[in-house]
Amino acid sequence: MRNNSPSVLFLGTLVAILTINGLISAQVKKSAVINVTRTEKMLRDIKANYQPFQGENSFIVLYSGKEKEEISVILIETDDAVLVLADVAAGRTVGLTPEVMRKLLEFNMQADFIKVGISDIGSIRVQSEQGLASIDPKSFGKLLDQIAAGADDVAKILKPVIKTLPAVK
């Protein structure tokens, strides 16, 4: 004979609610893990100290340099690649000379996986684009280090032609 007293029904309902709640909670946690980008997974794998940047698939890692105190390495993930870059100098602060441009070209020739670029407004940047399918966490970490070191090297090259801007009042 069944005992359908209110306390048994209440306990049965409570167990069912807790079970369903646990399943839903597990699904929410599972979907949160799925939304981690490949770039963020590699940042976690190399134990990088990173923060989200301006967008869903972009991150920033801070480095310190000898010539440039703070180097912001920015990562932007697309469908199958990651752009890694560090801005070295804003266009309005750089007075490029033929000698400095030659030194930047020589730097490009000596660098392995990174390149120096000059934007349409004259800003100087060190960057690299890499396919996500062909890069592992160890190589990824080395790439971030190379971008930061390259930005510091380029800051040294640019030192003679950096203009000091007046303070904003």
Residue pLDDT, tens place only, 123-153: 999 999 999 999 999 999 999 999 999 999 9
**pLDDT tens per residue across span 96-122:** 899 999 999 999 999 988 999 998 888
Q: Would you say 80 and 131 are in contact if contact means Cβ atoms under 8 Å apart?
A: yes
Taking CA atoms, 2 is separated from 7, 8, 27, in Å, by: 13, 10, 35
Q: Residue 86 — left, alpha, or beta (φ > 0 → left; ψ -120 to 50 → alpha)?
A: beta
Q: Specify the pLDDT at position 15.
A: 45
- Single-letter amino acid, residue 81: A
Average pLDDT, the chain: 83
- Helix ranges (DSSP H) in the chain: 6-34, 38-45, 98-110, 137-158
CATH 3.40.50.720 fits 38-161, yes or no: no
Q: In what side-by-side order are the strands of the sheet with 81-89? A: 50-52, 58-64, 70-77, 81-89, 124-131, 115-118
Q: Which residue from 87, 34, 77, 31 is spatially nearest to 57, judged by alpha carbons?
A: 77
d(C-alpha 116, C-alpha 156), whole Å: 13
Confidence of residue 92 (pLDDT cuts 50, 70, 90): confident
Widest distance between CA atoms in the chain: 98
Can you tell me the mean pLDDT for 17-40? 60
- Single-letter amino acid, residue 44: R
**Structure token digits, residue 169:** 């009042």
Determine which helix (DSSP H) or strand (DSSP E) holds 129, and give its type and residue range.
Answer: strand 124-131
Domain ranges of the chain: 1-35, 38-161
**pLDDT tens per residue across span 68-83:** 999 999 999 998 999 9
